[in-house]
Amino acid sequence: MTEPTRIPAPAGVAPAAQYSHVVLGRGRFVAVSGQVALDEHGELVGEGDAEAQARQVFENLRRCLAAAGATFDDVVKLTYFVMDLADLPALRSARAEHIPDDRLPAASAVQVAGLVRPEFLMEVEAFAVLAE
């Protein structure tokens, strides 16, 4: 894939501070299911701790992307599902450890009433595009 094109603020749309409004690329599509804060043994990481859960979620995303031959450089879209919008800074901090500000993907954040298990504070899914 050629380098994804990121358009942080299309004409007539307010600039985005924490994501790109549009990201486009050409190649194979990779969808990564929503990741939660479980370690490789299926144990919860960071009960009640948004920062610890966010770091584990991004580590799981990294591993899933690697299994498809992808990296965070290939990610064009992230979707955040959070129990509490106050946890978004923890997710942004964990994201910043993997994705620099000049390579931000498109993103959506959704506050939800619940996730698959009550101890999960967040879930994040990713979409990437790889060279053919």
Q: Taking 90 as the threshold, does the pLDDT of residue 132 lie above it?
A: no
For the four alpha carbons of 71, 102, 13 and 92, in that order, the dihedral sign comes to: positive
pLDDT in tens, 78-105: 999 999 999 999 999 999 999 999 999 9
Task: Report the SS3 class of residue 47.
Answer: coil
Distances (CA, A) of 74 to 2, 86, 106, 109: 10, 28, 12, 20
Q: Count of CB atoms within 10 A of residue 130's CB?
A: 16
For the whole prediction, is pTM greater than 0.85?
yes
Per-residue CA distances from 62 to 76, 83, 126 (Å): 14, 22, 10
pLDDT, tens digit (0-9, with 9 covering 90-100), for 27-60? 999 999 999 999 999 999 999 999 999 999 999 9
Looking at residue 3, its pLDDT comes to 78
3 state SS of 55 = helix
